[in-house]
A and B are shown apart, each in its own frame.
Chain A
Amino acid sequence: MIEPFREAFMNRISQSAARPWARLFLSAVALAAFSVPARAQTKIAIGCTATSDCASAMVAVDQGIFTKHGLDAQMVRIGINSTIPAAILSDSIQIGGPTESVFLQAVDGGLDLVAVEGASRMDPIANEAVAAFARNGTTLKEAKDFVGKKVGAPGIGAFLQVLFVKWLVEKGVDPKSVNFVEVTFPTMSDTLKSGAVDAVLTAEPFVTRMTKAGTGYVAAHYAAELARTEPIISYVAARAYAEKNPEAIANFRAAIAEAADIVNNDREKASVSIANFTKQPLEIVRLNRPNLAAPELKSDQLAWWLDVMKQQNLLQSQIDPSKLVFP
């Protein structure tokens, strides 16, 4: 917007300033006035929980990719994923990384949110990292063994629990016969040791840590058995924000696409950025590959989640999948 004005002003200087001192003075004024960058950086705050799913945004911040695309982006570490939709609506963050289950439940609840880009998706390596981990003294091998057992999940209706219920249903087990309770990731090991739960739904690095500590054993790699490739986390914004700021969204998409390549191909850079953001020790982050960064996002990928969540009575309204992804 500033460009035509600058051009006109500079022409005026060259035409009218016949006297050298006047030309010098006007040039100095012009230099001062236009020394700011032609394109101002757009400020955005991106809120994610401390997982590797938003690694593309973490890398884009650390490697200056957002800055290159005209975005002054700042990442906000959020404690609980289910608070991300409310944070987006309050405009504390402009883009957030909720899990698909949290995103769809928020839309189902009437919040006008829209996915602007993909963050991570399931793939064989990510699926293998997910496990139902049982405590010593139990013999859980198949889905039917979980009947009557107490299973700790990081959240009821959270990504890992929704997938586990889907697995139970596919194996012909009524999910109501399993008693789910909420257990946070860092307390899973001690909760298992105390015998308060029979198994937990968890992922790496906790599976390896608990196995090494002799807490129990992997009862089922249920995500690997489901073998899905749908998204885990998407970058989501308020529809009103996305519609008002199409340029910022386009720049965000370009930056994330560039950073996703680094996440998927340069594990060391990705690990350093993840450790920076999550504050997890780098040596622990390095042990596992981050979840696959997948910027492309299509509405039919979300349609699978809609079906699964409807089967589990987690959604009440009819959601049109074609309106979930910002064009």
Chain B
Amino acid sequence: MRLDGRAFVLPVCLIILAEIGARAGGPSDSIAPPSEVLVAFVGALADGSLLLATRDTLASAFGGLAIGGAIGLALGILLGSVGALNRLMEVTLELIRPIPSVALAPVALVALGFGYRLEIAIVAYASTWPVLLLTRSAVAGVEPRLIEVAQALRLSFPARVAKIIVPAALPRIFVAFRLAAGFALIVAVTIEIAINPLGLGAGLMTAGQALRPELMLAYLLWIGIVGFALNILLVFAQQRLFGRAALVGDIR
């Protein structure tokens, strides 16, 4: 992914305007000038608190993504390959899917308590759906002639999945995982803000309640950077690590 230098003009202008605006607006408990945010950011980075919180958030987000992604992938392949099962499960899935992941937080808290388990469980629930739906649609859209070839070769179901279905659907499955990774980070931070006292979301809440808006905004900035870096990492993985089979169209 190549970045155009001109893309920085708007953000830099906005930062300058924010600096002027924040200083002109007088003291605030929720807004701080970008220069103070930068100082707080460097301070939090230096004392290790930001990196510790990042570790907690990413561990929960990736843990949930791994579990949710695996469940979504398995169910997506199964439902995409077996039409009758897909029709039978349609109502059940469509009833469960609209439940917002954050709405599960109070129930999950009673069952699992604070900590990684709570967050991983909710992130897993949230990231199951994009992977399941996109994989199901990708598998159902595999060229019928390839399926006919598999039948002619009398491949078993696992062999058909491994040799025909997954390679054919891989680009769209990868898009599903990229989408789910974004969701995983958003849900993890949201759960930390709402309920779970660990990670970047809890750090952001604590800074806000401690009347340190500059630190709160530093956490917000860092969450944006982490999300940006995560996307770059996933694009890199898709472009370089999985060969041409994982590529489809223009991915950015």
Chain A residues packing against B (C-beta within 8 Å): 49-50, 76-80, 83, 86-87, 89-93, 184-190, 193, 205-206, 209, 212-214, 278-281, 284
Query: CA of A294 to CA of B210 in the docked complex: distance in angstroms?
Result: 24
> What is the minimal beta-carbon distance from A156 to any residue of chain B, in angstroms?
16
Interface pair B206/A80, CB less than 8 Å apart: no
Contact of A92 among B113, B202, B216 (CB under 8 A): B113
Q: A-B pairs with the 4 shortest C-beta distances?
A: A92-B113, A90-B113, A279-B210, A92-B114
Q: Contact flags (1/0) for B79-119 with A, using CB distance below 8 Å?
A: 00000000000000000000000000010011111110000
Interface pair B206/A50, CB less than 8 Å apart: yes
Query: CA of A62 to CA of B208 in the docked complex: distance in angstroms?
Result: 23
Query: CA of A190 to CA of B195 in the docked complex: distance in angstroms?
Result: 24
Q: Contact flags (1/0) for B204-236 with A, using CB distance below 8 Å?
A: 011111111100100000000000000000000
A209 and B27 contact, Cβ closer than 8 Å, known pairs A78-B197, A83-B195, A279-B206: yes
Q: Contact flags (1/0) for B11-54 with A, using CB distance below 8 Å?
A: 00000000000000111111100000000000000000000000
Query: CA of A246 to CA of B87 in the docked complex: distance in angstroms?
Result: 56
B71 located at the interface, meaning its Cβ lies under 8 Å from any Cβ of chain A in the complex: no
Q: A83-B195, A86-B109, A190-B29 given; name 19 further pairs at CB < 8 Å.
A: A78-B197, A79-B197, A86-B106, A89-B110, A90-B109, A90-B111, A90-B114, A91-B113, A92-B113, A93-B114, A185-B209, A186-B30, A186-B211, A189-B28, A209-B27, A209-B29, A280-B211, A281-B210, A281-B211
Interface pair A213/B26, CB less than 8 Å apart: yes
Residue of B nearest to A83 (CB): B195
Query: CA of A76 to CA of B196 in the docked complex: distance in angstroms?
Result: 11
> What is the minimal beta-carbon distance from B134 to any residue of chain A, in angstroms?
33
Residue of A nearest to B105 (CB): A83
Interface pair B194/A80, CB less than 8 Å apart: yes
> What is the minimal beta-carbon distance from B223 to any residue of chain A, in angstroms?
16
Interface pair B208/A186, CB less than 8 Å apart: yes
| CB<8 Å pairs between A and B, sample of 11 | A49-B209, A50-B209, A79-B194, A79-B202, A79-B209, A83-B194, A90-B111, A186-B209, A278-B209, A279-B210, A281-B212
Chain B residues closer than 8 Å to A213, beta-carbon distance = 26-28
A87 and B30 contact, Cβ closer than 8 Å, known pairs A50-B206, A279-B210: no
B161 located at the interface, meaning its Cβ lies under 8 Å from any Cβ of chain A in the complex: no
Residue of A nearest to B111 (CB): A90
B193 located at the interface, meaning its Cβ lies under 8 Å from any Cβ of chain A in the complex: yes
Interface residues on B, range: 20 to 34
Chain B residues closer than 8 Å to A184, beta-carbon distance = 208
Query: CA of A124 to CA of B93 in the docked complex: distance in angstroms?
Result: 57
A77 and B206 contact, Cβ closer than 8 Å, known pairs A83-B106, A87-B113: yes
Query: CA of A80 to CA of B106 in the docked complex: distance in angstroms?
Result: 12
Query: CA of A179 to CA of B199 in the docked complex: distance in angstroms?
Result: 35
Contact of B29 among A49, A50, A93, A188 (CB under 8 A): A188
Chain A residues closer than 8 Å to B216, beta-carbon distance = 186
Query: CA of A206 to CA of B28 in the docked complex: distance in angstroms?
Result: 11
> What is the minimal beta-carbon distance from B188 to any residue of chain A, in angstroms?
15
